[in-house]
Amino acid sequence: MSADLRNVNAGHENANRGASRGIGVILGLVLAIGTVALIAIGTIWPNQSDSGVAEPNARVIISASSPQDAVNDLLQQIARREWHSAYELLGNKGEFSETEFKSDLTGEYGSLRSYAMLNQFDLQPLRASADQAEIRAHLIWSSVVGTFEDSRDLRVVRNGRHWEVSWPIVKEARVPPQVIPVNYLRWDVIYRGPEDDWGAQDVEAPHVRIVAMHPMDRAGEVILMGEILNEDVVPAFVTVKASLLDSKGNALGTEDAFDKISHVLLPKQVSPFRIDFHNIRMSQVDSIRMQPSSNLVPASADPVIGIESQKLNPVPDASLTGQLVNQSGQVVNVAHVIGTFYDGGGQIVWVADQYPSRALLPGTPVPFQISLPADISNKVKTYRVVATTYISSRIQ
Amino acid sequence: MMARTLFSCAFVISLAGLAAAQPALRFPPSVEAGAAFSVSTAGSGDATLYVVGPGDALAHKVHLGENVAFAADELHNAGHYVAILVAGSSPQSVQFDVVASRKPAAISFLAKPSRLAVNRENGISGVAYIFDVFGNLMLKPEEVSFQLSDATGGAQSRSAASHEGVAWVQMNSAPKAGPAQFKAALDSVHATRVVEQVPGDPCSIRMSARPASGQRVLLQTDPVRDCSGNPVPDGTIVSFTETFQGRQSTVDVPLKRGVAETELPAENGAVISAAAGVVLGNEIRWSGR
């Protein structure tokens, strides 16, 4: 009985195996056909999506059969820093040279843009007809200080069977050759040497003071904002470190204002600072220990940067915009703008910053834009902006 | 070095433990550092005299019953010493002190801070450590005179008695800015430090405006001074702010040759102000002239 049952079961298993094989073959065929069909669809009707990731290794340029294709091809070439290939794809090459095109994208004078890579872009069709289209390209560049964005409205024109992009050139400002007299003001420091008597005092560290401080609980983290004043008569390199303490005096976390501060402060100069504590809630904090520190450093009082036409813009694009004007004779390679925002009571409600991507040439305005969170922008009544500068010739 | 010190200590302790009660050595209770002196011994025969103290360990072959002479400078480190006379199996020991010599030879002078604002009461502290020629701290009280003299010839003088080799005073910074010589003196020995007395905060900022080329307004401060009349140092930042129809322009300008000067956009009706640190200056409403 049991032997019969085994035979019956074996027969069922064989039948089942045969059926499973059949289903597997059918499934495999369906998948293969589906894959081939999808490849065919993708080839015949290519992706019309309006965003892309720059692929520096992509080499093949497919002839642009649509406005999006044309823009996509161009931006891929730009991402690969293939300036000549990108320039060759343009439909308005007669309006500017390849050098001008390159300096529009990479900037000049060793600016932030010079060392940035196009990381990502979004395309937003604005208008389209049979022969021309307009596409807004939102370019996201990556740089050593984070990403910065650039938006260009591109006109795409049909040329025979192909589409070509007309690049809206932004010609890099140039300063005519000239001599700009500057009365340099500079501090140099001689520190105590090893051969000095042990009683001989070293140069005194600059006296700095925190003149405002405001902690804020925001999105599950604590943000400390404030201002520090160099109340001395010598330049100071300042840092601000803070520790959040619990009720037993234990440190919950210690952070410092990394780049949300102007580190070199000239006499009587004030800098905002902002310190972010991730993963710590205000409810955990009992007290805060602030540790400002300063060192006497050689420094120069130049260049002087005017921050003009500052304006608060309301939501949805809440921001502070303005222009930086280099009032000195030296080219500033990279500028850093830090904004302090106050409510009606004069309390600091936000500190934010931005690095303009272009170099500051003498007397040439460069725009900047500091974004503000929508909920914060409603509270802002006054603001104060400072600019710091980095000049490559001083770093060398 | 450590092993040598440990060995010396062990040697002294073991010899001192063996020391007999009868005094064959007659050391004075204290000896001036660097001074020549002699001690008498009793008995007869040869012996070895060991003298161990801070930084010094020496041995003398002696003939018992004769004086043992110590040359000048032979014992020069102040402190507590042990002398052990080893003769046969009955070592003897005595203890004595070497004290700093009576004549001061050097002052180590700490003056703090090296830079401070004018008109600060007791803002400057001076601490003098008195040493003899061998670098021993002179513990006996001495009257040290301190003098702070500024560039204009004004001087403050104070004196302070040293306590355990240290004398200190506090001085006021002068109303006039400039380097001050801070001197500590005892007999013919003195040490001098320089204290930089710097101007305080700007007392007031007065700014004027006049048209400049290209739709700009030229802003210039009067020479900026502190409340004692000292010119505020060049490099001090003056912040100019122009407000017009909800827009604002600012610029931080360092003082050069006592004044701050910059240009901002000329907007009729704009309000322009100046400030340095927490000190506010005057306000101008620009009307084009």
Is the pLDDT at A193 greater than 90, yes or no? no
Is the pLDDT at A305 greater than 70, yes or no? yes
Which chain B residue lies closest to A182 (C-alpha atoms)?
A: B256
Query: What dihedral do alpha carbons A67, A71, A73, A75 form, nearest 10°?
Result: -170
Contact A153, A71 (CB under 8 A): no
Decide if A304 and B233 are in contact by the 8 Å CB cutoff: no
CA separation for the pair A364, B94 (Å, rounded): 87
Q: Residue A4: its pLDDT value, please?
A: 42
Closest by Cβ to B199, choosing from A198, A233, A308:
A233
Is the pLDDT at B43 greater than 90, yes or no? no
Please count the residue pairs, one from chain A and one from chain B, whose beta carbons lie less than 8 angstroms apart.
108
Decide if A308 and B265 are in contact by the 8 Å CB cutoff: yes
Reading the block at residue A209, the tokens are: 């003071």
Contact B242, B272 (CB under 8 A): yes
Closest by Cβ to B254, choosing from A301, A312, A322:
A301
Is the pLDDT at B9 greater than 50, yes or no? no
Give residue-wise pLDDT tens across range B104-123.
Answer: 999 999 999 989 999 999 99
What are the sequence ranges of the domains in chain A? 51-166, 186-300, 305-395
**Mean pLDDT score of chain A:** 86
Is the pLDDT at B74 greater than 70, yes or no? yes
Which chain B residue lies closest to A321 (C-alpha atoms)?
A: B247
Decide if B251 and A268 are in contact by the 8 Å CB cutoff: no
Is the pLDDT at A354 greater than 80, yes or no? yes
Q: Give the gap in angstroms from C-alpha B49 to the nearest C-alpha of chain A.
A: 38
Q: Give the gap in angstroms from C-alpha B276 to the nearest C-alpha of chain A.
A: 6
Contact A208, A228 (CB under 8 A): yes
Q: Which amino acid is at B33?
A: A
Give residue-wise pLDDT tens across range A69-116.
Answer: 899 999 999 999 999 999 999 999 999 999 999 999 998 888 999 989
Which chain B residue lies closest to A267 (C-alpha atoms)?
A: B236
Q: Residue A267: its pLDDT value, please?
A: 92
Q: Give the gap in angstroms from C-alpha A259 to the nearest C-alpha of chain B.
A: 20
Q: Which amino acid is at A47?
A: N
Q: Residue A24: its pLDDT value, please?
A: 72
Closest by Cβ to A327, choosing from B202, B262, B278:
B262
Q: Residue A51: its pLDDT value, please?
A: 56
Which chain A residue lies closest to B130 (C-alpha atoms)?
A: A199
The reply to whether CATH 2.60.40.10 applies to domain A305-395 is: yes
CA separation for the pair A225, A349 (Å, rounded): 8
Contacts of A385 in chain B (CB under 8 A): 250
Contact B226, A270 (CB under 8 A): no
Decide if A306 and B113 are in contact by the 8 Å CB cutoff: no
Q: Establish how many alpha carbons lie within 13 A of residue A294's alpha carbon, considering only the half-sphere containing its beta carbon.
A: 24
Contact B156, B119 (CB under 8 A): no
Is the pLDDT at A229 greater than 60, yes or no? yes
Decide if B253 and A304 are in contact by the 8 Å CB cutoff: yes
Question: Do A186-300 and A305-395 come out as alike in CATH topology?
Answer: yes
- Domains of chain B as residue ranges with CATH: 2-99 (2.60.40.10), 106-198 (2.60.40.1930), 202-285 (2.60.40.1930)
Q: Establish how many alpha carbons lie within 13 A of residue A214's alpha carbon, considering only the half-sphere containing its beta carbon.
A: 16
Q: Give the gap in angstroms from C-alpha A128 to the nearest C-alpha of chain B.
A: 38
Is the pLDDT at B18 greater than 80, yes or no? no
CA separation for the pair A52, A74 (Å, rounded): 12
Give residue-wise pLDDT tens across range A138-184.
Answer: 999 999 888 998 899 999 999 888 899 999 998 877 888 888 887 77
Contact A333, A305 (CB under 8 A): no
The CATH architecture annotation of domain A186-300 reads Sandwich (2.60)
Give residue-wise pLDDT tens across range B128-184.
Answer: 999 999 999 999 999 999 999 987 888 899 999 999 999 999 999 999 999 999 999
Decide if B250 and A267 are in contact by the 8 Å CB cutoff: no
Question: Which 3-state string (H, E, C) describes chain B?
Answer: CHHHHHHHHHHHHHHHHHCCCCCCEECCCEEECCCCEEEEECCCCEEEEEEEECCEEEEEEEECCCCEEECCCCCCCCEEEEEEEECCCCCEEEEEEEECCCCCCEEEEEEECCEEECCCCCCEEEEEEEECCCCCECCCCCEEEEEEECCCCCEEEEEEECECCEEEEEECCCCCCEEEEEEEEECCEEEEEEEEEECCCEEECCEEEEEECCCEEEEEECCCEECCCCECCCCCEEEEEEEECCEEEEEEEECECCECEEEEECCCCCEEEEEECCEEEEEEECCCC
Q: Residue B118: its pLDDT value, please?
A: 93
**Mean pLDDT score of chain B:** 88
Which is more confident, A103 or A192?
A103
Q: Which amino acid is at A316?
A: P
Reading the block at residue B68, the tokens are: 């043992």
Decide if A268 and B237 are in contact by the 8 Å CB cutoff: yes
Give residue-wise pLDDT tens across range A236-250.
Answer: 999 999 999 999 999
Query: Phi, psi (5° rounding) for residue A230?
Result: -90, 105
Q: What would the mean pLDDT of A360-380 be, rounded to a whole number?
A: 93
Contacts of B234 in chain A (CB under 8 A): 185, 301
Q: Residue B24: its pLDDT value, please?
A: 66
Question: Band of the pLDDT at B7, cuts 50, 70, 90?
Answer: very low
Is the pLDDT at A327 greater than 70, yes or no? yes
Contacts of A320 in chain B (CB under 8 A): none
Decide if A201 and B236 are in contact by the 8 Å CB cutoff: no
Q: Which amino acid is at B95?
A: Q
Best of B248, B255, B261 to disrupt the A interface (most A CBs within 10 Å) is: B248
Decide if B254 and A306 are in contact by the 8 Å CB cutoff: no
Q: Residue A37: its pLDDT value, please?
A: 77
Decide if B111 and A204 are in contact by the 8 Å CB cutoff: no
Exposure letters A264-284 (e unless 16+ CB within 10 A, then b):
bbbbbbbbbbbbebeebeeee
Query: Phi, psi (5° rounding) for residue B10?
Result: -60, -40
Decide if B263 and A306 are in contact by the 8 Å CB cutoff: yes
Which is more confident, A20 or A178?
A178
Is the pLDDT at A7 greater than 60, yes or no? no
Percent of chain B at pLDDT > 70 equals 91
Give residue-wise pLDDT tens across range B208-235.
Answer: 999 998 889 999 999 999 999 999 999 9
Reading the block at residue A197, the tokens are: 């008597």
Contacts of B108 in chain A (CB under 8 A): 197-199
Q: Give the gap in angstroms from C-alpha B170 to the nearest C-alpha of chain A.
A: 16
Closest by Cβ to A203, choosing from B114, B250, B253:
B114
Contacts of B112 in chain A (CB under 8 A): 201
Which chain A residue lies closest to B114 (C-alpha atoms)?
A: A204
Question: Which 3-state string (H, E, C) describes chain A?
Answer: CHHHHHHHHHHHHHHHHHHHHHHHHHHHHHHHHHHHHHHHHHHHCCCCCCEEECCCCCCCCCCCCCHHHHHHHHHHHHHCCCHHHHHHCECCHHHCCHHHHHHHHHCCCCCHHHHCEEEEEEEEEEEECCCEEEEEEEEEEEECCEEEEEEEEEEEEEECCEEEEECCCCCCCCCCCCCCCCCCCEECCCCCCCCCCCCCCCCCCCCEEEEEEEEEEECCEEEEEEEEEECCCCCEEEEEEEEEECCCCCEEEEEECCCCECCEECCCCEEEEEEEECCCCHHHCCEEEEEEEEEECCEECCCCEEEEEEEEECCCCCEEEEEEEECCCCCECEEEEEEEEECCCCCEEEEEEECCCCCECECCCEEEEEECCHHHHCCCCEEEEEEEEECHHHHC
Residues of A within an 8 Å Cβ radius of B? 183, 185, 187, 197-204, 211, 229, 231-235, 266-270, 301-302, 304-312, 322, 327, 383-386
CA separation for the pair A175, A172 (Å, rounded): 10
Give residue-wise pLDDT tens across range A273-295.
Answer: 999 999 899 999 999 999 999 99
Q: Residue B158: its pLDDT value, please?
A: 94
CATH class as words, domain A51-166: alpha beta
Closest by Cβ to B256, choosing from A185, A268, A269:
A185
Decide if A199 and B265 are in contact by the 8 Å CB cutoff: no
Whole-Å CA distances, A201 to A197, A205, B25, B196: 9, 11, 48, 12
Which chain A residue lies closest to B267 (C-alpha atoms)?
A: A309
Decide if B250 and A385 are in contact by the 8 Å CB cutoff: yes
Decide if B237 and A309 are in contact by the 8 Å CB cutoff: no
Percent of chain B at pLDDT > 90 equals 67
Is the pLDDT at A11 greater than 80, yes or no? no
The whole model's pTM is what? 0.76
Q: Give the gap in angstroms from C-alpha A118 to the nearest C-alpha of chain B.
A: 32
Percent of chain A at pLDDT > 90 equals 59
Bridge partners for B264 per DSSP = B217
Decide if A199 and B278 are in contact by the 8 Å CB cutoff: no
